[in-house]
Amino acid sequence: MTQGTDSAVMAGEGMTLVPAGTGPFDHLVRRIRSGEVEAFDQLMILVERPVLAVAWRILGDRDLARDAAQETFLRIFRSLDSFRLGEPFLPWVHRIAANASLDQARRRGPAPVALDDLGDLPQDTHGCAEALAVQDQQRELVRRALSTLTPAERSALVLRDLEGLDTEEVARALGVKAVTVRSQVSSARSKVQAFCRRMLTLGGPR
Amino acid sequence: MTTSHVHDLLALHAGGDLDPTDTVRVEAHLATCPDCLALAQAYAESRAWLAAAPDAPFSGGERRAIREAVMDQVRREARPRVQARIPAWKPLLGVAAALMLLLAGLRAWQPTTSPAPSLAQVSKPQTASHDTPVADASRPAQATSGAATSARTGPTDCPDTAPTMAQERPTRTVQMARLQAPADSASDGPQPLAAPTRIEIQTDNPNIRIIWLAQATPEPTGTPSPKE
């Protein structure tokens, strides 16, 4: 992801893009650094989607994801002085979010879920918004698919395939080499593909 | 290229993570191997299924609550941050205060040049004491370190260079003239001393005292004596 992605996020939120040559988030960062603390709320609005997405997909638990997201925002605030203006902001945010989520995962100590644990999926779509129910089902399946991965595989796959970072950016975010990221992503995709194959075999919804 | 080798590369090939050389080789193999092609398609579908999954299950209200909790903490932490940003000039105050103390200390350490030696040091002719070094005022001499006047040196000057007696002489000459002049300031010039006078000047160095013995002789009357 580059500054182009940052610009897309800004435009999607209805904010005016700043002139070329400066990062879209730079003016907010400058305001916060100068003491305008309330501007940090605007910054959170711009980055809360990827922060929550990364936290939830790595942890697979709403409460833990909420705690990890809050921790991510606080780390962003405390580290703003170290952010280089003009650099892409979202990859920096992704790195903080991934590390905060992994720290949360280590504290919890999760174990991968067995591949054939596909029971108790939300099935009742009668009498309620079918679209929301389908969404819940999909989320649950994705959560179970990701739970078959190790924390390292999960974070690499989430950043690479779900957040769209390239291999080098994922490596910087996780503090590992690019060859390690490729290995983790390859292993993660194989496991997810195996989960999907199993799901089809057991007749689960897609 | 073996089938297992291609299988190992299909996961990375699905995300476009192979280098160009391997990409060409894998695609060439897929064109000839239905099993590997089916597996490559399965990888693509599972990736698409994962990417199409909805985002985190947090409503707008839940997201707002998360932000408000964070802002409460941020405001608490920001108070020291704002206060810490104010005194950018405080270090300068400290430096200025240190400089003022240093200057005050230097001024206190520097001996004053204007006051004249105490009249108590001016005495009748006495036998020169031999226990203190006496400087011969008739000849210029090098002052030892720590001599009286160091005011001529500033903080950037070499502190080890002490002013010489030649440098001190103008100050002492003024003092001598003052001593020689009687209390009557209406006189045109210094009056000849009636009796020998011993003048002692104690320098800042306690081991150095300047003793000057002076006696005026009357002007000869009549024909001037030839100079010898």
The DSSP secondary structure of A135-184, one letter per residue, reads HHHHHHHHHHHHHTS-HHHHHHHIIIIIS---HHHHHHHHTS-HHHHHHH
- Residue A155: closest CA among A87, A86, A105: A105
Residue A186 has pLDDT above 90, yes or no: yes
* Strand B134-135 with B209-214, pairing: parallel
Q: Which pTM value belongs to this model?
A: 0.58
Q: How much is the pLDDT for B63? A: 95
The DSSP secondary structure of B108-136, one letter per residue, reads HHSPPSSSPPPGGGEES--PPPSSS-EE-
Helix (H, G, I), strand (E, B) or coil at B199: strand
- Residues A87-139: tens digit of each pLDDT: 889 999 999 999 999 999 888 775 554 444 444 454 444 555 677 777 778 88
Task: Select the more confidently predicted residue: B20 or A123.
Answer: B20
Residues in chain B with CB shorter than 8 Å from the CB of A78 are 77
Is the separation of the CB atoms in A163 and A94 below 8 Å?
yes
Task: Select the more confidently predicted residue: B96 or A176.
Answer: A176
Q: How much is the pLDDT for B23? A: 93
Q: How much is the pLDDT for B85? A: 55
Q: What is the CA radius of gyration of chain B?
A: 48
The DSSP secondary structure of A90-119, one letter per residue, reads HHHHHHHHHHHHHHHHHHH---PPPTT---
Task: Select the more confidently predicted residue: B66 or B191.
Answer: B66
Taken in order B70, B73, B79, B84, is the CA torsion positive or negative?
negative
Q: Is the ipTM of this complex over 0.95?
A: no
Token pair belonging to B136? 């011969």
Q: How much is the pLDDT for B122? A: 45
Q: How far is B36 from chain A (nearest CA, A)?
A: 14
Q: How much is the pLDDT for B143? A: 42
Q: How far is A146 from chain B (nearest CA, A)?
A: 9
- Residues A11-36: tens digit of each pLDDT: 455 454 454 445 668 999 999 999 99
The kind and range of the H/E element at B197 are strand B197-202
Task: Select the more confidently predicted residue: A46 or B109.
Answer: A46
Rounded mean pLDDT, B194-214 = 82
Helix (H, G, I), strand (E, B) or coil at B202: strand
- Find the residue in B nearest to A159 (Cα): B51
Helix (H, G, I), strand (E, B) or coil at A60: coil
Is the separation of the CB atoms in A165 and A91 below 8 Å?
yes
B103's CB contacts (< 8 A; 6+ apart) are none
Q: How much is the pLDDT for A30? A: 92
Q: How far is A20 from chain B (nearest CA, A)?
A: 29
Rounded mean pLDDT, A144-165 = 92
- Confidence class for position B111, pLDDT limits 50, 70, 90: low
Task: Select the more confidently predicted residue: B201 or B86.
Answer: B201
Buried b (16+ CB within 10 A) or exposed e, B77-107: ebeebeeeeeeeeeeeeeeeeeeeeeeeeee
The winner for highest mean pLDDT among A188-197, B50-59, B146-155 is A188-197
Q: How much is the pLDDT for B83? A: 55
Burial class for A186, CB neighbours closer than 10 Å (0-12, 13-18, 19+): buried
Return phi, psi of residue B61, to 5°: -65, -40
- Confidence class for position A54, pLDDT limits 50, 70, 90: very high
Buried b (16+ CB within 10 A) or exposed e, B26-42: beebbeebeebeebbeb
B 4-33 → A contacts, CB under 8 A: 8, 11-12, 14-15, 17
